[in-house]
Structures are given as C-alpha cells and as structure tokens.
Amino acid sequence: MKYLAFATTMMALAACPDRAGAETISSSYTSTAPKACRMIGKPDEEDGSTTRVCPGKSGLVVLVSEGDLREVVSVGPNRQAAAREPAAQAWFGPFSSTGDTVEWRAAGRKPFAIIQRWLIADNSDEDRSSSPKSRPMLAVTRLPPGAVCHVAYVDVAANPNANELARQAADDFARDFKCGEDKVKTIGQSGRTTSLVKR
C-alpha cells in the first residue's frame, strides 16, 4: 500500500513538472542601433522625433520611437502591432534613452521577454556642462502572447548584479504578468534611478 501511494505521488510529480525544471531558458541579442534598423519617414523638424523598426527574434520587430528627448520601445510582429501595445506609450517623466543592445530571454526557441538598458536624466544632478547626469536602469518587457509592457526595473548603480536580477525577473514574472493590472516591480535595491521613473 505504501509503495502504491509512493508510486502515485511520483507519477503526479512527473506529470506536472515545474516551469524551471521543464525548459531551457537562454539569452540572445539584437541591436537597435540606427544602422541596424529601418527609419520610418524623416525626423520631425519641430521636435526631432524619429521612429525606427529593428529586427528582433522569432518574427518579431522592435519599434523605437523618440520624441521630446524621450524614447519608447515596443515589440510586435510588425510596426503597426507594436505601436498599439502598452509599451509604446510607456514614457518616463525625465528625458530618457535606451542602449543599442536588446537581450531576448527565450524558453527553447520562443522569446518571452526582452531586457534593455535605459539612461534616465536626473535633472537634480548636473555635470560640468550643466546637463543632467544620466542614470542607468534595466527594464524588463514581456512579449506576446498577450500584451507587451514593462514588467520590472532594476537600478544598475544600486545593484552590482543588475543583469542577473533582470534575467531572474524576466524568467519569474514576465509570462504571467498582466499588463494594466499588475504593478511594475522594482527588483533588488531601489536607488535614485528607480525613484526617478516611479509614476
């Protein structure tokens, strides 16, 4: 009888493996540098706004739009779909820009999140040229199926292991995150940068 109960338990566990143990999660990289992307139209003469579409992974593209010295980044199967996602409206109050490298977290061959380095202007701290200092942050963004939106922020200066924290946040939270319902998480130690982007 004990053997039967043990066997039944083991069969149940085998039938329902946990997510982490059942898949291989890996990173790959693409670029959003202007030379790697296709510019859409010409820069706006009034505010210098630009839009570019960059190749991603698994048939997805990365949409980078800049206006009023602030960037937004979204992902979708095409430019139009990416522009309709919540991420395409995820402006920060301070001036902001993104690094050129996009890290894609994927389970097997299917990407479920991207990680990007952002630079956030700190208007209360200026450099020698009287320009705001830029403070680094990592943002985790969930991918389809479902909406595309920010999931987590990691303050780079406050966390020496910021890359590892961002990857763990992507792996743990991105796929089940509900855009518009769940609150964006601050991962690790909060710092000046994450305080700047709080809405």
Using one digit for the tens of pLDDT, what is the confidence trace for 6-51?
344 344 434 444 454 567 999 999 999 999 999 997 766 666 689 9
Q: Is residue 161 a contact partner of residue 196, using CB atoms and an 8 Å limit?
A: no
- Mean pLDDT, residues 176-194 taken together: 95
Query: How high is the pLDDT of residue 125?
Result: 72
Domain map of the chain by residue range? 25-197
| pLDDT tens-digit map of 45-99 | 666 689 999 999 999 999 999 988 899 999 999 999 999 999 999 989 899 999 9
125 versus 8: which is more confidently predicted? 125
* Percent share of the chain, pLDDT over 70: 83
- Mean pLDDT, residues 170-186 taken together: 97
Report the alpha-carbon distance of residue 140 to residue 60 in Å, rounded: 16
Report the alpha-carbon distance of residue 120 to residue 133 in Å, rounded: 8
Handedness of CA 91, 116, 197, 148 (dihedral sign): positive
Query: How high is the pLDDT of residue 173?
Result: 96
The mean predicted confidence, pLDDT, of the chain is: 87
Largest CA distance in the chain: 80
Report the alpha-carbon distance of residue 53 to residue 36 in Å, rounded: 9
Question: E-assigned strands of 41-142?
Answer: 50-55, 61-67, 70-76, 96-107, 110-126, 132-142
